[in-house]
Structure 1
Amino acid sequence: MDTSAMVSFRFSLLGPLRAWRQGVELTLGPPQQRAVLALLLLRRGRAVGVGELVDGIWGADPPTAAVSVLRTYVSRLRRLLEPERPADGSPRLVVSLGDGYALRTDAVVSDLDRFEDLVARAGAQHTEGDDPAAVELLREALDLWQGTPLAGVPGPRAEAERRHLEERRLAALESRLRIELDLGQHARVLPELTALYEAHPLREALCELLVLALYRGGRRAEALAVYDRTRRTLVDELGIEPGPSLLAVRAGLLANSGSGPPEATDVDDRFDVVDEGDGGGLADGTGEGQGGPGLPVSAVRPSQLPTDLATFTGRRAQLDGAAALLPDRGHPQTSVIGLISGMAGAGKTTLAVHWAHRIAHRFPDGSLYVNLRGYDPSGSRMSPGDAIETFLVALGVAQQAVPEELEARAALYRGVLADRRVLIVLDNAGDSEQVTPLLPAAPGCLVIVTSRSRLSGLVARHGAHPLALNPLSAEESLELLARRLGDARVDAEPEAARAIVALCAGLPLALSIVAARAALNPGFRLAGIAEELRQDHGSLDAFAGGDAGTDARAVFSWSYHALSPEAAGLFRRLALHPGPDITVAAAAALAGVDRRRVRTPLTELTGASLLIERAPGRYVFHDLLRAYAAELSEAEDGEEVCGAALLRMHDHFLFTAHDASTVLDPFRESIPLPANTTDATPLRFNDRAEATAWLRTERYVLREIVAHAATHGFDTHAWRTAAALDVYFNRLGYWHDLLEINGAALRSARTLGSVTGEAYSLCGLGVAHSQLNHAAQAQRYLEDALELFRSADHASGQARVHRGLAYLCNRTDRRPAALDHYARAIELYRSEDDRSGEAGVLNQVAWTYILLGEHEKALERCEEAVLFYQELGDPYGEASTQDTLGYALHHLAHHAEAIGHFERSARLFHGIGDRYLESDVLRHLGDAHLATGDRDAARAARRAALALLEELGHAEADEVRRELRELGEPAEPAPGEPAV
């Protein structure tokens, strides 16, 4: 369409909402009409639904004719903005899209657009090193603000957007002040910083800037006083300690070197904590330094809500009651909890998700969702600690920074949510104890809990607002059926439709299954469907929450008997899977067919609403349907058929996990596997990225698989699968998972009487306890493992344990003892002619010498290890050792040589695809360049490291940002600047 003839408009949002057409200011009408315009402008050309507009303008108390009034406002805006319409009378600016409206942005400009453009250009100038130009652009951007954004615009959505825009203004202001500080203008910015800090005492970034300005102005005591005041305020009001960036500034103050905070702490100190290069003495020789705990400086806005049901209907009374709970009235002091309770299949999750989608825009800091699986028939209930961990990672906390204990996790979770407005959906809670640790302390959050139980403890102790969900009324049930099948089909057979509704007894799950079958068979008469339901009427009281009036089995069996034999068999087999969700590959293993053939019955099951495709290729049961499928499996298949399916499943996971472990570390000692006696085909991985992706997505399933194997007689699979997962779980810092799976593996190995299995499991437990700083437990498990490997005359197993003991010694400052264990490990590897194992130990010995300050000895061991790795063709081992070699040379002040080895290491890690260790080496490279005085090269290396850490979402990204700021250089690579 030719837009050249369209009217040009200019809008102002960074103050009172105003509009101009061809330079003439327009009168925008009543407040609600301005709110409609504001919401359309903020959506930037995307459609805004009618329901969202009503909710955003009037909130929980819309007028009776809200939709009609809204359409009147839209009509007036069209006349105002386009007094002269095209010949066909259709609007070109405010257009109808689906069930809503959109504002075409072709000929629209706003001060918000201008602000964003200036901030982006300032970032580019800062990246290119032109900080004065960046400051001027940021000043110009901030000058666009004319008071409170969207002033005069009513409604909860406008209030949320105001807060969001104010946050963006403060972020731009902080960026300008930080750059001016880097330019040495601390005296100039100090008054402005002081005023801002007084206005925002809980804002750590402003405190950090003020502390730096005072310190660089020679006012160190005042700087420390400001830090102490901020810490007290954070602890007293929010119950949290300062974040890592502010703590680093304080450390610089206490160091008191020069006119500003010192450079990064000496690398010896950093590596003395955890990192020891190629495994740092870890038992499998593949551990990576995880860095210290910390939180990202930049907040992440998660959006985890499941998809809303497009055909949702009914539940008007419950939605009206829920609307009154929204925490946007006044200034709430605590989070609000809405508790939706009701029998299984009553539609609790559907209602919670629908309601959450309707109000999500009121929570500018995002939405969180978790299925707690409180009533899962398989028993795979999610622990509060695991739920908090998933939330923390979604909120931007690095995996390695998540504490071990539940109380510490809960405290960190509450701290991360402080000053944020987040919508949290806790689905399928089993009891109050499962929910309580997941409740935020921050005011303005809303928690929606669903449960079959009434959770009276949550109501009594935490003020939850109960919303009881009864079966649908006859009218609501008919409406649901009509939404799924169409009014014409229901109206054509009203008696049959009412009979179906009565037989489903108002259970939404049952109605949905019946509707799905009828929709897939448009030729079926509703009278015939009703008759089939009458004939199959049985009893499913045990699954109906004690309500004998609801007979779900009739619906399930009617739909089940309509399945093809392949789909029916798969439906029964899937109930055997213990994990929270099921992949295509796992389904194929259970069914005993290849992955191509299993897709057809999977599609049939999802089409019949008997299975849900939660994500592409990942399927979940409603727990009522899982229970029904398990009942069918027990009745129709028998122990022999079920046992064969489970064996295929466990073979699939064991052999796939083994292949993933081999791809991640091809030179690691391989544990012999039993013969694959089934037709289950394991997955194969072409590279480390594929193997890591599978392990990451299957992490929680794999935990359940090991536990299931240990409790259902698949003991060989249990300990061998746990051993195969050791590399990945250790490397990524999943040490609590290692404790769980090795605990189960140990029980299975002892049941079998397998000395080797018991020794591997004990070793895994020892390594996990070492990483978690449980020194006494680690020592005990590792010594027990060593004794068992000795009794079995298992040399490589003994060497593995000696490496674990050496690592533990280094973590507990017993360097000579660590060297003794490494020496014994080398002897054992030599007895087995295991050159890869010997090379790994030599590299770890070198790290130990570095920790002792004996860098010449470290060089000798590194050179031996590099030769071994090059002969073996092991790029991973060589990469780790080249890094160690460069590190030792750097500390001997041979910086030019060190740079060459760091560059070689970085190239090798890049080729392997290990982004974390590549970033670690790049930081070492930056240190070496800095030691030679080449600040540009140091900046480039650290930028490249930062890019990798940001991609990983790793906590160490903040440290690199700080290092770049201390260099006085931008923290992002300049356009076109190559990575090192």
Structure 2
Amino acid sequence: MLEIRLLGTVAIAHDGVDVVLGKRHERCLFGILALEAGRSIGTERLLRLLWPDEAPASARATLHTYVARLRGRLAGCGVSIVTRDSGYLMQVAPSDVDVHRFTDLLGQAIDEPAPDRRFALLTDALRVWGGDLMEGTADDRLRDSLDASLDQRFLLAHELLAETGLELGHVEHTLSYLPELVRRHPARERLAAALIRAYHQCGDVASALSAYETVRRHLADELGLDPGANLSNLYLSLLHRRGPGDPPALPAPLVVPAQLPPATRVFAARDAELAELDLLVVEHASAVVISAIAGSPGIGKTTLAVHWAHTLSDQYPDGSLYVNLRGFDPNGRAVNPDEAVRGFLEALNVAPGQMPTTLEAKTGLYRSLLANRRMLILLDNARDAAQVRPLLPGTRGCLVIITSRSQLGSLVTAEGAVPLTLGLLTATDAIKLLSRRIGGERIAAEPEAAMEIVHRCAGLPLALALVAARAVARPQAGLSRLAEELAASPSPLDVLSSDDRATDMRAVFSWSYQALSAPAAELFRLLGLHPGPVRTTQAAAALAAVSPAAARVLLGELERAHLVTEDAEDQFSLHDLLQAYAADLAAGSAATPSGAAANARAVERLLDHFLISAYEGDLLLDPHRDRVAPPDGSPHAHPFLPRDHEEALAWFTANHATALAVTRLCDTGGYDRHLWELAWCLGNYFERQGHWHQWIESQALALAAAVRLGDAHAQARCHRALSRAHQRLDDRPAAFSHLTEALRIYQEHQDPIGQAYTHLNLNVWHESEGRYELALGHAQTAFDLFEQAGNVAGQALSRNAIGWGHAKLGAHETALRYCQQALTQLREIGHQAGAADTLDSIGFVYLGLDDPVRAAEAYEAARDLFEQLGDRYNQATSHLRIGDILAGQDQPGPARQQWETAWRILRDLGHPDAVAVGRRLHDPSAAPHG
């Protein structure tokens, strides 16, 4: 039995025996990881928590040392600390940690309608409470950083206990502890109200009135406040000798979120739509009200939704939640439901340490917290129904407002959402909007010019708002002048070309563009050449051939002009209309030979930036991989140069979608060498992370480029990469076809190393077909070729493949000898990926030797290495095999944990094996027990 105590002195006991945790920093680290209980916490955050003022230069190494020590101390407890998502994760059940048990019991009590059962749950919860969080280890600043609301939950538990105790008639018990609590927390009006009720119920009205007066005086003297309505009404009932009324069965919310963005000061028009929306609330009062507001970009969906939400806020006293789901943002990254519901839970005061780990659990907690509350939820810019569904409440009383460019038809059908599609403003409403923004007197002075502006803006609210901003900025210019400028604009942006209703958005954007300094204007134009979705300061510097520091200054100017938006440090995005405008500017500049040449040089610098960044990152992901020649790029490429594996993996994670878009740019622009080399450098990351479809797309483009170049060696590499990607997707015929062609090219050009790698791939292919003798033959051929070439890494990889082949044929002792030799070689040369594969082989061999303990040790070592490498698919297979062994040892709980982890990874990868693992979770007997 495992028991982790964080409430009070930090401690851990296994089967009743305390485990020594070491010095303060190690105890701190243990407490932080245990508080997350199954959730990873990033290295950077750990460093900030452990060294809040300034981390020493050795902090990262010291942290690794602390982790290693804790792993050693916890080895016998069944608690492991694993590397996960550039951080660490403690594999422990939340139920083993007292903070989580307390919070879970409190949550059950909040949802429990029966007073006696609720009272018992609250009593159990408060028994768990042993003192302040990490008492004697964490200071107040660390406690606030970890869980600022924990003390509030403690007081809430006492408030509920007191109210429930009074409901059950336990007056004496309540008075035995409540006066002291109220004395220590005189500003907690709910505690004071319970104490006053307790005195009143036992007939001591004088003490009740005295308690009220003490609280009133404290609020006035210390906070300058009067008692709230509930406490004041209770006081009045005492004065008039009326019964104080039943206390509420459930607590008020810990926090009343108010997340709505500010309403626009000059909202106008949309009267018919507002009336329709108001009617919706009236007609659906007995259910969860879902309104789906749809329409084209710039039509005013968000403006209408926010305005309407503010008019209704008084009807939803438990607060409002808001999230921009970024479903159609130009940066291409929509907010996933897990992120969104986590944000809502944080707004509802769920601390990081109590945050569930799965989307299903988060959604369940979210809906539980919304039960019996009247809240307004605004889900802005949704991509589709799947993104929205986890954010819908489960019980009536709430209003959900959704905005989207899509119609969300399935949400209308399945969830009963009521659609509202916004059209362009009528001329009357458009004039009203302009009048509110620039003043009715200017409209009255030039009515014809105002109507011309409305016509030119096609009734599109975004265009009207931008024109109005220009009019406000130029009060000396008449509306006629603005109308003339609009009329003189050349053509509409493509995105608004339908029916020529927004022909002059380009002119609107040009007003800001023309006010820029010349270098900033040039950078904005060059950003139109960037394929997106992520634009970094370094990439902008490459485009403009300036230093990153100079690019940062120019991007700051663009941001102040509202032409770019900074999404994160050194990462920027453009609104889709602005991106189209920038692309138009770039295309226009190419009309002259000098402009076209300047654009071509900028694109080449951008391609150099991505190629060198990917090359350097790939070198750290796998130093022993056969690679392209070091790229010789422009001095202004400003590549990202990662310092270690962690930084390289982070760069690929943030930029792989953009890098894929760059390969497409290479394809259309004729940059064939950049294309095939960049695709090769991306392949390792794509394979490990399970982005196999993107891998195939990039390599297919690369193969076509290699053919155009007439580069046979590049063609062979592309065929090899395509074979591995198709093999991962279980398309074995395509994989074999590419391997056959790769081997033909390598043999024709007498490339022994290329032939050896291809034979290793053929070994894998034949093994997947069950042709173990043929597979073993290819592995042996690969070894001979690597040996002749003096390639040590290749020899070690081949030895592992030979060992695997012998294991498949039942010769496990021979297999073990080959694999152990391979592992020794691979470790000597620091080949982490090869070592992980070989440990996986050794695990399989030990199973064949009927030694599940050593098999599990090998698989666990392989799992940890795969995790460090970011090889998610192989990490999943390791979890799966460990689970099978545990199931065979009659440990169904731990086995299921391993299978669930494997299933989540495979599901996220979209791998077909997820279905089989899902069946195993439903029917554990289907597992091939170790």
Superposition CA RMSD, Å: 6.2
Q: How many residues align?
A: 667
Q: Secondary structure at the match of 2:292?
A: strand
Question: 1:774-853 residue pairs with structure 2 within 5 A?
Answer: 774-853=731-810
CA contact (8 A) 1:341 1:469 kept: yes
Determine whether 1:722 maps to 2:703: no
Q: Deviations over 1:667-703 (max 9, x none)?
A: 1111224431452021111222211112112232122
CA contact (8 A) 2:412 2:418 kept: yes
| C-alpha distance in 1 between matches for 2:407 and 2:917 | 47
Cα–Cα, structure 1 residues 887 and 85, in superposed 2: closer, same or farther, change >3 Å? same
Cα–Cα, structure 1 residues 565 and 952, in superposed 2: closer, same or farther, change >3 Å? farther
CA contact (8 A) 2:290 2:401 kept: yes
CA shift at 1:723, angstroms? 1.1
1:686 maps to which of 632, 643, 651: 643
Determine whether 1:612 maps to 2:612: no
| C-alpha distance in 2 between matches for 1:769 and 1:560 | 47
CA contact (8 A) 1:819 1:845 kept: yes
Q: Deviations over 1:145-169 (max 9, x none)?
A: x999759x9xxx99xx9xxxxxxxx
Letter in 1 for 2:514: H
CA shift at 1:369, angstroms? 2.9
2:667 maps to which of 710, 720, 723: 710
Cα–Cα, structure 1 residues 8 and 610, in superposed 2: closer, same or farther, change >3 Å? closer
| C-alpha distance in 2 between matches for 1:14 and 1:755 | 80
Q: Deviations over 1:15-65 (max 9, x none)?
A: 9999999979xxxxxxxxxxxxxxx999xxxxxxxxxxxxxxxxxxxxxxx
Question: 1:650-665 residue pairs with structure 2 within 5 A?
Answer: 650-665=607-622
Q: Deviations over 1:914-972 (max 9, x none)?
A: 79878977887898899999x9xx99999999999999997999989x99x99xxxxxx
CA shift at 1:513, angstroms? 5.2
CA contact (8 A) 1:803 1:841 kept: yes
2:707 maps to which of 738, 750, 757: 750
Cα–Cα, structure 1 residues 616 and 778, in superposed 2: closer, same or farther, change >3 Å? same
Q: Secondary structure at the match of 1:859?
A: helix
Question: 1:254-265 residue pairs with structure 2 within 5 A?
Answer: none
Q: Secondary structure at the match of 2:325?
A: strand
Determine whether 1:527 maps to 2:481: no
Q: 1:556 maps to what in 2?
A: 509
2:553 maps to which of 592, 596, 600: 600
CA contact (8 A) 2:298 2:461 kept: yes
Name stretches of at least 5 consecutive residues in structure 2 with no aligned partner. Answer: 1-150, 173-187, 191-211, 232-245, 343-358, 371-376, 395-399, 925-930
CA shift at 1:444, angstroms? 7.4
Q: Deviations over 1:94-122 (max 9, x none)?
A: 78xxxxx999xxxxxxxxxxxxxxxxxxx
| C-alpha distance in 1 between matches for 2:340 and 2:223 | 44
Between the aligned residues of both structures, percent identity stands at: 29
Cα–Cα, structure 1 residues 306 and 331, in superposed 2: closer, same or farther, change >3 Å? closer
Q: Deviations over 1:248-274 (max 9, x none)?
A: xxxxxxxxxxxxxxxxxxxxxxxxxxx
Q: Secondary structure at the match of 1:465?
A: strand
Question: 1:458-497 residue pairs with structure 2 within 5 A?
Answer: 465-471=419-425, 473-477=430-434, 479=436
| C-alpha distance in 1 between matches for 2:421 and 2:569 | 33
CA contact (8 A) 1:14 1:147 kept: no
Q: 1:314 maps to what in 2?
A: 267
Determine whether 1:732 maps to 2:681: no
Q: 1:234 maps to what in 2?
A: none
Cα–Cα, structure 1 residues 747 and 480, in superposed 2: closer, same or farther, change >3 Å? farther
| C-alpha distance in 1 between matches for 2:407 and 2:280 | 18
CA shift at 1:846, angstroms? 2.2
CA contact (8 A) 1:611 1:622 kept: yes
| C-alpha distance in 1 between matches for 2:169 and 2:219 | 17
Question: 1:325-724 residue pairs with structure 2 within 5 A?
Answer: 329-330=285-286, 338-342=292-296, 344-348=297-301, 369-372=325-328, 427=381, 448=402, 450-451=404-405, 465-471=419-425, 473-477=430-434, 479=436, 503=453, 505=457, 507-510=460-463, 526-527=475-476, 533=482, 536-537=485-486, 538-539=488-489, 540-543=491-494, 544=496, 545-547=498-500, 551-637=504-590, 638-677=595-634, 679-724=636-681
Q: Secondary structure at the match of 1:527?
A: coil
Q: Secondary structure at the match of 1:657?
A: helix
Cα–Cα, structure 1 residues 769 and 875, in superposed 2: closer, same or farther, change >3 Å? closer
Cα–Cα, structure 1 residues 910 and 629, in superposed 2: closer, same or farther, change >3 Å? closer
Q: 2:698 maps to what in 1?
A: 741
Q: 1:972 maps to what in 2?
A: none
CA contact (8 A) 1:15 1:150 kept: no
Cα–Cα, structure 1 residues 897 and 774, in superposed 2: closer, same or farther, change >3 Å? closer
CA contact (8 A) 1:584 1:595 kept: yes
Cα–Cα, structure 1 residues 799 and 439, in superposed 2: closer, same or farther, change >3 Å? farther
CA contact (8 A) 2:716 2:742 kept: yes
CA contact (8 A) 2:786 2:794 kept: yes
CA shift at 1:574, angstroms? 0.5
More displaced stretch, 503-512 vs 809-818: 503-512
Q: Secondary structure at the match of 1:613?
A: strand
Q: Secondary structure at the match of 1:631?
A: helix
Question: 1:48-87 residue pairs with structure 2 within 5 A?
Answer: 86-87=219-220
CA contact (8 A) 1:729 1:737 kept: yes
| C-alpha distance in 2 between matches for 1:877 and 1:85 | 68
| C-alpha distance in 2 between matches for 1:706 and 1:824 | 35
Q: Deviations over 1:293-338 (max 9, x none)?
A: xxxxxxxxxx9x9995675752664455446667965568xx9673
Q: Deviations over 1:695-746 (max 9, x none)?
A: 1122321221111211111111111111111111111111111121122222
| C-alpha distance in 1 between matches for 2:452 and 2:680 | 54
| C-alpha distance in 2 between matches for 1:8 and 1:807 | 60
CA shift at 1:895, angstroms? 6.7
CA shift at 1:861, angstroms? 0.9
Question: 1:939-958 residue pairs with structure 2 within 5 A?
Answer: none
Cα–Cα, structure 1 residues 924 and 763, in superposed 2: closer, same or farther, change >3 Å? closer
CA contact (8 A) 1:13 1:149 kept: no
CA contact (8 A) 2:381 2:404 kept: yes
Name stretches of at least 5 consecutive residues in structure 1 with no aligned partner. Answer: 25-39, 43-78, 96-100, 104-145, 162-302, 397-412, 430-434, 482-489, 967-980
Answer 1 or 2: higher relative contact order, Cα 8 Å, separation at least 6.
1
Letter in 1 for 2:543: L
CA shift at 1:608, angstroms? 0.9
| C-alpha distance in 1 between matches for 2:443 and 2:907 | 57
Normalised by the size of structure 2, how large is the TM-score?
A: 0.57
Cα–Cα, structure 1 residues 356 and 606, in superposed 2: closer, same or farther, change >3 Å? farther
More displaced stretch, 922-931 vs 860-869: 922-931
CA shift at 1:643, angstroms? 0.7
Q: Secondary structure at the match of 1:541?
A: coil
